[in-house]
Amino acid sequence: MQEQAERGQVKQIEVLLVEDDPNHAQMVCTVLGRAKGAMAVLRGLISVTPVDRLAAALELLARRQFDAVLLDLQLPDSQGIETLVKLRRASESVPVVVLTRFDDDGLALAAIRRGAQDYAAKDWLDGRLLRRTIRHAIERKRAEGELLRHTREVEAARTQIERQATELKARADQLDRINRELDEFAYIASHDLKEPLRGISGYCDILLESYHDKLDDQGRRRLAMLVDLCNRLETLIGDLLTYCRVGGARPARTGIDLAAVAAEAIDTLRPVIDRRRASVEVADRLPLVTGDATLIGMVLSNLISNSLKFNERPRPRIRIGCLPTDPPTLYVRDDGIGIEAKHHEAIFSIFRRLHGRKKYEGTGAGLTIVRKIVQSHGGRIRVESAPGAGATFYFTLAAPRQRPSAEVPPAAVQPEAKPADEPTLAAPHWVEQVCGMK
């Protein structure tokens, strides 16, 4: 191994010995190994370079790379802890082992507090102990360097995360501001656009009523068509406003009984259901969910009204149920005209219609609003359907935060009380819109 070290195949530990006493310097060289030449000792892959002044040590450290320094604190050109301070200032990355006398333990401990890795009593030196001390000092210094590097990396990462968090907060604030502005714009646009439409429609009604005898059949038909166009445009504006409201709203997160929401939606649509002589069946047990009762009611009302609208059977049948998944998958199934597979995604696009307006009324915004509501609850919606085979809409919602205790029978579970100021499903401002949506 000694020959391999001399040929440079194995890296030696380069040690700088700073000791002004020749006897102590020779002792260190002796315990570390057999002296070889005036400037080096090679034994056990440790090479020692001795100097007797701090200035000489600093000069060597500026020109060469050493793995460790054995330092006597009492030198002709420097005394005490200041010797260590000056050496570490010149080469902070090199581990230092302080050489002391037996009665200098206090000075040695002070040196360790100022950055020395270890100390050894030079009055009595053991070769194996000193080599182990040097190697341990090197490993501890390397570990300190790794820890410092990791600490700096963590600090840099923390600074970057804080900067990104600040940027994200700024963007979130900006998005909130934009959403508020869009919401205000939607209200203003809805009001400002609907008023002229109502005026146009009103004047057309006046013309049809007051000048009925002065208009020919073609004039009356054109005025009636103009009234119909105004009504359709007003409905479009209303649906677009609903879409904007749903998109910018943050749904309430409360535990709700889906069975109660479904029952209320069915009661709201009861006139349409009875007129179509339809049956709407609800599964015996619908789950508790977490969300906004009003918005979920809009989803069910929308899907039920679509099942009634796109159904040519004399007695349409609709079923509302739930699949035992986690989170639960709700569905609304009908026996209507069905949807071709190529249109399963297109039907969720706003104002997208698959049929003529004369055959099926509506604006084509209903399913878009439904998907927006489901997504705002962290869920997804899809459809399974084929022409003539009906359609089944599946959607998920957030799971309840707390489930009923196993000891409580299902019939005893009561829906969570609704706050007095929470809007109800029967709110007329959206029921009229839902009944006419796709």
Q: What is the pLDDT of residues 122-139, one digit of tens each?
A: 777 777 788 888 888 888
- pLDDT confidence of 232, banded at 50, 70, 90? confident
Radius of gyration (C-alpha) of the chain in whole angstroms: 43
| Span of 135-149, 267-281, 340-354, 378-392 with lowest mean pLDDT | 340-354
Residue whose entry in the numeric block shows the structure tokens 């339809």: 278
Specify the domain boundaries for CATH 3.30.565.10 within the chain: 251-435
Please name which of 373, 356, 372 lies closest in space to residue 364, comparing C-alpha atoms. Answer: 356
Query: pTM of the full predicted structure?
Result: 0.46
Mean pLDDT of 394-416: 47
Please name which of 305, 296, 308 lies closest in space to residue 261, comparing C-alpha atoms. Answer: 296
**Three-class SS state of 319:** strand
Between 240 and 84, name the one with better pLDDT: 84
Mean of all residue pLDDT scores within the chain: 77
- Domain 2-125 in CATH: superfamily? Response regulator (3.40.50.2300)
Q: What is the pLDDT of residues 320-334, one digit of tens each?
A: 998 888 888 889 998
Please name which of 53, 98, 50, 48 lies closest in space to residue 72, comparing C-alpha atoms. Answer: 98
d(CA 9, CA 7): 6
Please name which of 65, 63, 50, 52 lies closest in space to residue 13, comparing C-alpha atoms. Answer: 65
251-435: CATH topology = Heat Shock Protein 90 (3.30.565)
Specify the domain boundaries for CATH 3.40.50.2300 within the chain: 2-125
H or E segment to which residue 288 belongs: strand 288-291
Residue 437: both structure tokens together: 């949506």
What share of the chain has pLDDT > 70, as a percent? 77
Residue 343 pLDDT: 76
